[in-house]
Amino acid sequence: MPTRDVNEKIADMFDTIADVLELQGDIPYRIRAYRNAARTIRDLPQPIEEVAREGKLEDLPGIGKDLAAKILEYLETGRMSKYEEVVSQVPPGLIELLHIPGLGPKRVRLLHERLGISDLEDLRRALDSGRIETLPGMGKKTVENIRRGLALYEASKERMPLGRALPIAEEIARQIDALPGTARVVIAGSARRMKETVGDIDILTIAEDGEATIQAFVRFPQVRDILAAGDTKGSVVLHNGLQVDLRVVPPESYGAALHYFTGSKAHNIKIRTIAREQGLKVNEYGIFRGEERIGGEEEADVFRVLGMPWIPPEMREDRGEIEAALEGRLPTPVSLDDIRGDPHVHSKWSDGANTIRELAQAARARGYEYIAVTDHSPRVRVAGGMSVEKVWQRQKEIEALNREFDDFRILSGAEVDILPDGSLDYPDEVLAALDLVIVSVHSGFKMSREEMTRRILRALENPYVHILAHPTGRLIGQREPYPVDLEAVLRRAAELGVAVEINGYYLRLDLDDVNAHLAKELGCTISLGTDAHQVDHLSMMRYAVGVARRAWLEPQDVLNTKSLPDLLAWLQRRRSG
DNA sequence: GCCGTTTTCGGCCCGACTGTTTTCAGTCG
């Protein structure tokens, strides 16, 4: 069975080939070609084997005759001779050194050729012995930078989940905003694009006195190390290890700089290429025709001069958004304002921290029309799963609460465990009495791909099921997705009218952006749920929306953009049909 | 190595910062 694991594998091989070619001083354009191809394959929603089978490898952007042949070779033989050839030419540990900030191909090569440094351990020893300073072009400061780069690399091998990093960034932005002379402040970079993890935080500001702003910034209490502090740029590492860069930009360049520092890099490259074709130049200072500045104060200027509408940051990954914008078919992605309720919330009846009343009040205060309280079923013992008896008791409480509200509705729901054989953890008569039934896998992850697929497919067949939650079970930075033929699951869900979830809990974000896009293409309805276990978690809806926007989902693709009457009709549809 | 209503060769995004350079190389975003 083809899987996207193979995509990852081939993308990694191409990236490694690019690394080695860099070390060998090959021409930059060939190196870039490998990197572009790696990115294309990594972002591909379907297994590359399918593309290969249809003979469409060369239709993929950045894949030509040569790379298509290499992919085919790997798919057919399990090996790629170019990869094996280049990898055998360098010591295995040398490639990793390229990933240390401050070390590029030239310096790694110098270290290797002159000092015999071949891996992290060699580098650490050479730093301690002071030998590196004897090399040409390696002064004390460069060596010190490499030392810091090594520490940074080891400390931050893992990127920080967006749900941790964004609140930290927002707090720092607030502190900058409170400084005297700050006119504007905005978070840019991958955090603005709502990428599921971020490597560092980029913040832009317009300030009267750049130097004073930077000096204040590097003295914020969260700061552990100051990496740079000039009059337009400051760079720090916080106590939690997160790197934050602050840039002071002039008002006339604000929009151009915001676009530039939001990225992604691939998106920016394509924008600049298109600008060049039109005889324009786009950089972080503005948009220029010859010497003449024709825009740059607002971000929309960048897109307008190139003849396209403003593209939402979450879509700027060079996954076709620029072409879509130019052709006037850029979707308007779902936004937080479109969300009318939260269909996945836990109360004290299972492992939630708050009462149903507290959850309802918090949801109502957010402007929602409804929530579904979806406590766990008994099998999930660690989560205080509800016995059938408790389901009936809870039902009474919900009915009583609903009589108190005339502009808000609590739906009685459950997150029902999918047992290893694919049956559900409540009998049908209980499911039938619930307004909204979520199903999900919480245990028995270690089955084969075929068994897991069969298990989930069987659960979907139950006519009382409305939503499949966190369909891959992954936890960012903690647990890989369980093996499953996700495409088969999504296909069947679309046929049966079962919605699939983008779980907004910051460690889940499951489905992810690529799979959520695939789900849309296959015709699935998608439910954005927070899986909140306390009232504060209701705010994680913004992460679910972020993933949805990265997946190009529009309001009509999303279950909980429906009004309460429309939602109730949708919930009834499968049961009555 | 890819790509093409400026096509099959000759391009390929581009500026800043840092350190060590005496005019610029290496790295980064």
Chain B nucleotides close to protein (CB under 7 A) are: 1-3, 6, 11-21, 25-29
**Residue-wise pLDDT tens digits, A109-141:** 999 988 999 999 999 999 888 888 888 888 888
Q: Picking from A234-248, A346-360, A389-403, A521-535, which range would have the lowest pLDDT averaged per residue?
A: A234-248
pLDDT at A381 over 80: no
Q: Picking from A147-156, A242-251, A444-453, which range would have the lowest pLDDT averaged per residue?
A: A147-156
pLDDT at A199 over 90: no
- pLDDT the model gives residue A425: 94
- pLDDT band, residue A513 (cuts 50/70/90): very high
Q: Are residues A375 and A479 in the same domain?
A: yes
Within a domain: A537: yes
- pLDDT the model gives residue A577: 62
Of A107, A140, A157, which residue is a domain's last?
A157
* Nearest nucleic acid nucleotide to A67, CA to C1' distance: B1
Q: Are residues A387 and A424 in the same domain?
A: yes
Rounded Cα–Cα distance for residues A509 and A546 (Å): 9
Q: Cβ distance A561 to A341 under 8 Å?
A: no
Of A139, A157, A175, which residue is a domain's last?
A157
* Nearest nucleic acid nucleotide to A70, CA to C1' distance: B1
- pLDDT the model gives residue A562: 98
Q: Are residues A172 and A314 in the same domain?
A: no
- pLDDT band, residue A349 (cuts 50/70/90): very high
Rounded distance in angstroms from the CA atom of residue A104 to the C1' atom of nucleotide B28: 10
Q: Are residues A112 and A211 in the same domain?
A: no
* Nearest nucleic acid nucleotide to A111, CA to C1' distance: B26
For residue A42 the two structure tokens come to 């990594």
* Nearest nucleic acid nucleotide to A269, CA to C1' distance: B13
- DSSP classification of residue A148: H
- Using the structure block, give the residue that is written with the tokens 């810091």: A148
Tell me, what CATH number does A432's domain have? Answer: 3.20.20.140
Rounded Cα–Cα distance for residues A334 and A550 (Å): 10
Q: Are residues A38 and A104 in the same domain?
A: yes
- Using the structure block, give the residue that is written with the tokens 């691939």: A266
Rounded distance in angstroms from the CA atom of residue A32 to the C1' atom of nucleotide B11: 14
**Residue-wise pLDDT tens digits, A403-445:** 999 899 999 999 999 999 999 999 999 999 999 999 999 988 8
Of A157, A183, A206, which residue is a domain's last?
A157
pLDDT at A186 over 70: yes
Q: Are residues A565 and A439 in the same domain?
A: yes
Q: Are residues A270 and A220 in the same domain?
A: no
Tell me, what CATH number does A33's domain have? Answer: 1.10.150.110
pLDDT average, residue stretch A477-484: 83
Rounded distance in angstroms from the CA atom of residue A111 to the C1' atom of nucleotide B22: 25
* Nearest nucleic acid nucleotide to A243, CA to C1' distance: B29
pLDDT average, residue stretch A518-539: 96
Within a domain: A282: yes
Q: Are residues A237 and A258 in the same domain?
A: no
- pLDDT band, residue A360 (cuts 50/70/90): very high
- pLDDT the model gives residue A156: 67
Q: Are residues A33 and A145 in the same domain?
A: yes
Rounded distance in angstroms from the CA atom of residue A146 to the C1' atom of nucleotide B2: 34
pLDDT at A493 over 70: yes
**Residue-wise pLDDT tens digits, A163-180:** 999 999 999 999 999 999
Within a domain: A526: yes
Q: Cβ distance A189 to A212 under 8 Å?
A: no
Rounded distance in angstroms from the CA atom of residue A396 to the C1' atom of nucleotide B13: 64
Cβ-proximal residues to A222 (8 Å cutoff; 6+ apart), any chain: A168, A171, A172, A238, A239, A240
Tell me, what CATH number does A288's domain have? Answer: 3.30.210.10
* Nearest nucleic acid nucleotide to A230, CA to C1' distance: B17
- pLDDT the model gives residue A486: 94
Q: Residue A392, Cβ neighbours under 10 Å: how many?
A: 12
Q: How many domains does chain A have?
A: 4
Rounded distance in angstroms from the CA atom of residue A299 to the C1' atom of nucleotide B27: 28
* Nearest nucleic acid nucleotide to A63, CA to C1' distance: B2
pLDDT at A7 over 90: no
Q: Picking from A201-210, A233-242, A262-271, A501-510, which range would have the lowest pLDDT averaged per residue?
A: A233-242
User: Closest protein residue to B15 using CA and C1' atoms?
Assistant: A283
Mean of pLDDT over chain A: 92
Within a domain: A142: yes
Range of the domain at A384: 336-576
Rounded distance in angstroms from the CA atom of residue A459 to the C1' atom of nucleotide B5: 53
Within a domain: A103: yes
pLDDT at A294 over 60: yes
Q: Are residues A319 and A446 in the same domain?
A: no
pLDDT at A266 over 70: yes
Q: Which phi and psi (to 5°) does residue A197 adopt?
A: -130, 155
Within a domain: A262: yes
Q: Are residues A91 and A212 in the same domain?
A: no
Tell me, what CATH number does A207's domain have? Answer: 3.30.460.10
Within a domain: A331: no
Rounded distance in angstroms from the CA atom of residue A70 to the C1' atom of nucleotide B21: 43
Within a domain: A406: yes
**Residue-wise pLDDT tens digits, A322-337:** 999 998 999 999 999 9
In a 3-state reduction of DSSP, which class is residue A366?
coil
Q: Which phi and psi (to 5°) does residue A124 adopt?
A: -60, -45
Rounded distance in angstroms from the CA atom of residue A317 to the C1' atom of nucleotide B8: 30
For residue A395 the two structure tokens come to 């039902």
Rounded Cα–Cα distance for residues A385 and A424 (Å): 13
Q: Are residues A548 and A431 in the same domain?
A: yes
3-state secondary structure A173-235: HHHHHCCCCEEEEEECHHHHCCCCEECEEEEEEEECCHHHHHHHHCCCCCEEEEEEECCCEEE
- DSSP classification of residue A571: H
